[in-house]
Structure 1
Amino acid sequence: MAPDTKPILADPDVSPNGVLGDFRVPDLFRDLPDAVIVANVERRIVWVNPAFESLFGYSLQELTGELTKDLYAEAEVYTEMCQGRYGTMPAPSDHSYEVRYRRKSGKTFLTQTTGGPIRNPAGDTLGFFAIIKDISKTRAYEELLHRLFHISSDQSMESTAKVQAILKLGCAHFQTDSGLVSWVRDDRYTVLYNYSDLVDIARGTTFSLGDTYCSEVMKSNAPLACHSARKSNFSTHSCYDLFLLETYIGVPLIVDGTLFGTLNFSSPEERHPFEPGDLEMIKMFAAWIGQQLSFEKATNQLPIQS
C-alpha cells in the first residue's frame, strides 16, 4: 500500500471531499443498470448499487467492510488485480477487462469490468471503483453460434452426423434430455432424427400430430417454450398424459421455403424458465438443420412420401 493514500470513509452515505466533486457516490451510481462497487484502499467494500446487489445476490449490509477478494472466482486473479489494474499507478489499457466473479449462490459468471483508482485533485488514491457488466450469456451465445457453424461447415461429416451433432448441442444448451426433428404431413408426425439420453426413437416412427406439443407449434407457426407443463396449459394436453414431458421448446422447421415439420427439445423434468433469447436461439438451430434437410431431400435421403 502506498504511504500517500487516504481511505474512503466507511459510511456509504458519506462521500470523501473532492473524490466526485459535489456528488456523493450513491447519487452518481445508484440508478445505473450495470453493477457498481466502491472500495477503500484496503479493498474493503464501502458501497454497491442496487444492480450489484441483484447481480451478485448480496445486500449492501452483507458486503460493507468485506474484502473484494471474496467476490472473485479465483483468488489468484484478485492478487493480480491488486498488483496491476488496481495498483496505485495502473496503465490506461488496464481499466477495462474480462474477469469471472462468484455470486452468493456460488455460481461463477463472466463479466466486462471497467474500473480503477479514485483520486483527489492532488493525485492521492482514495479508493477504488468498478462497473461490472455480466457478459456470460452473450459469450455463451457467441460460442454456441461458433460451434453450430463449425459443425455445419465440417466437410468431413456426413449430413446425418451433422444433424445428430446439432441436436446434441441443442440438448446441452437448452438443458434437456432429448432433441427431435420431425416431418409433419396432415395429422401425421414422423420422426426423422432423435438424440436422447433417455430413449432411442427409430427414424420413421409415426405419431398422431395431436398427441404432440408440436401440434401447438404448427398451429401458431412460431416458436413455443414451456419449462413446467404441469403448471401450464400443457397439463391438459394429450402429450402430457402420454409422455409426461415437463420441459419443451419447439419451433417450425422450414425446408426449401416450405413448412416441413418441427425441431424440438424436451425433458420429463422441469427446468428454470426459458428466456426470450432461447426462442431466438432455437430458430438458429432450425435454420442450420433446415439446410441439412434440404441437402438430404435433394439427394433422396429423407424417408418421406409426397
Structure 2
Amino acid sequence: MPSNEPPAPRTKDVSIGDIRIPDLFRDLPDAVIIADETQRITWYNTAFQTLFGYSQQELIGQSAEQLYAAPQSYEKQRSAGFSVAVEDLDHNYEMRYKRKDGTSFLTRTTGGPIRDKEGRVMGLFAIIRDISQTRAIEDLLHRLFDISTDQALDQSGKILAILKLGCAHFKTDSALVSWVQGERYTILYSYSDLVDIPRGTVFPLGDTYCSEMLNSGGPLACHTAKQSQFGTHPCYDLFLLETYIGVPLIVDGEIFGTLNFTSPEERHPFEAGDLEVIKMFAAWVGQQLNFEKATNQLPTETTTLT
C-alpha cells in the first residue's frame, strides 16, 4: 500500500555543480534556512541556531510556519512573496519571527525559490538578519528628538521625560541624574515608579554603584548584583539594587556627574548594545544640562542644593 507519509526532505542533496547548496551558506554571519517546496525545513546554518534558539536537527522536516510571529504572515508569504510560482518578485522584506522561547524579533529577510538551470524549483531559501535593535535605536532617537524639541516642556520636564523613556527601554524602575563633587553624590533629577528621591539629597559616592562605574571610566551594567562584584558593595547592602546600568555625564567637556537606571529586580542580561544606548541617553541629558548651565540653572561648587 502507498504510504501517507510525505517524502523525506531532499534539499540536503541539492547541489550547484559540485557544490552542495548548504555549503554555500554554512559560514555566513546571517541566519540561513532552506526548505522544500512544501515549506518543510531541510537545513539551517549555525547562525540560524543562535538567532532562533534551536539545536542543529531540531527543526528538520517540520513546517516553517512555527517560525512566524503571526500566522497570517506565514500565510501571506506562502501564498505570495515566498511562493515557488512567483516570478520577478522583490524577495526582500521585513518580517517578524519568533524564537524557540516565544520572544519575537524584527528582521530583514531575503528569500525565494532555488532553481536549477532549467528553472525547476529545487527548494526555498531565506537569509535572515535581526534588525530589531537597529529599529529600536531609530525609534529611540526619534522619541528623544521629540522630547528635546517639545515646546511645552521646560528643561526639567525634558530631563524627566528622558529618564522615563530610559526606564521603559532598559526595563528598570528608577533613574537618577547625579552631580559628583569629590566624594559627594548629589541627586539633581529622579524618576521612579517606587520612591521619589528629592533634589539635593546627598549620598557618599562610595555608597553608590556609580563609584565603580566612574572608576571604570565608562558605562557599566549589571543585571544581577548578588552574583557580581556588586554583591559585596555597600550600595547592595543599603538598597538591594539588583539591576544597574550607568554612565558618566559630560557637561561642557568635563565629567559632571552620572546617569543611571536601576531596579531591585533582576532582568535578562544587558547586551553590548545597551552600553552604547545609555551613552546616547547621557548625550541627550548632557545637552539639557548644558542649556541649564548656559542660563545659570546648573549648580556649581559654591551651590548648596536644598
Give the structure-1-normalised TM-score. 0.91
Q: Is 1:47 the equivalent of 2:43?
A: yes
Q: Is the 8 A contact 2:11 2:36 kept in 1?
A: no
Contact kept, 8 Å, 1:8 with 1:41, in 2: the verdict is: no
Output the aligned Cα RMSD. 1.9
C-alpha separation in 1, matches of 2:33 and 2:278: 36
Q: What secondary structure, in the 3-state scheme, does the structure 2 residue paired with 1:296 have?
A: helix
Contact kept in structure 1, 2:84 and 2:124, CA below 8 Å: no
Whole-Å separation in 1 of the counterparts to 2:54 and 2:80 = 26
Quick check: 131-140 or 76-85, which moved more? 76-85
Q: Which residue of 2 aligns with 1:4?
A: none
Q: Which deviates more, 99-108 or 144-153? A: 144-153
Query: 2:176–2:260: 8 Å Cα contact kept in structure 1?
Result: yes
Runs of at least 4 residues off by over 4 Å:
none
Picking from 267, 283, 293, the partner of 2:279 is 283
Note the C-alpha offset of 1:91: 5.0
Deviation sequence 1:151-208 (CA, Å, 0-9, x none): 1122222111110110011111112111000111122111111111111111111111
Name which of 257, 260, 268 aligns with 1:272.
Answer: 268
- Name 1:21's counterpart in structure 2: 17
Q: Partner of 1:236 in structure 2?
A: 232
For 2:126, which of 115, 126, 130 is the aligned residue?
A: 130
**% same residue:** 64
Give the secondary-structure state (helix, strand or coil) at the position aligned to 1:254.
strand
Check if 1:160 corresponds to 2:167: no
Q: Which amino acid aligns with 1:14?
A: D
By how many angstroms is 1:290 displaced?
A: 0.9
- Per-residue CA distance 1:105-130 (angstroms, 9 max, x = gap): 11111111111011111112222111
Paired residue for 2:75, among 73, 79, 85?
Answer: 79
Q: Is the 8 A contact 1:8 1:39 kept in 2?
A: no
Counterpart AA for 2:80: G
Aligned-partner Cα distance in 1 for 2:65–2:56: 16
Q: Is the 8 A contact 1:96 1:114 kept in 2?
A: yes
Structure 2 unaligned spans of 5+:
1-5
**In 1, are the aligned partners of 2:172 and 2:262 still within 8 Å (CA)?**
yes
Distance in 2 of aligned mates of 1:220 and 1:76: 49
- Measure the CA separation in 1 of the matches of 2:293 and 2:123: 65
Match among 67, 74, 88 for residue 63 of structure 2? 67
* Cα distance in 1, alignment partners of residues 135 and 19 from structure 2: 35
Pair 1:147-2:124 in alignment? no
Distance 1:218 1:48, change over 3 A: closer
Q: Which residue of 2 aligns with 1:3?
A: none
Q: 1 CA distance for matches of 2:234 and 2:43?
A: 54
Q: CA deviation at 1:305?
A: 4.7
Contact kept in structure 2, 1:211 and 1:238, CA below 8 Å? yes
1:222 positional shift = 1.7
Runs of 5+ in structure 1 lacking a partner? 1-6
Distance 1:91 1:162, change over 3 A: farther
Compute the displacement of 1:12 (Å): 5.5
What secondary structure is seen at the aligned counterpart in 2 of 1:172? helix
Change in 2 beyond 3 A, CA 1:102/1:218: closer
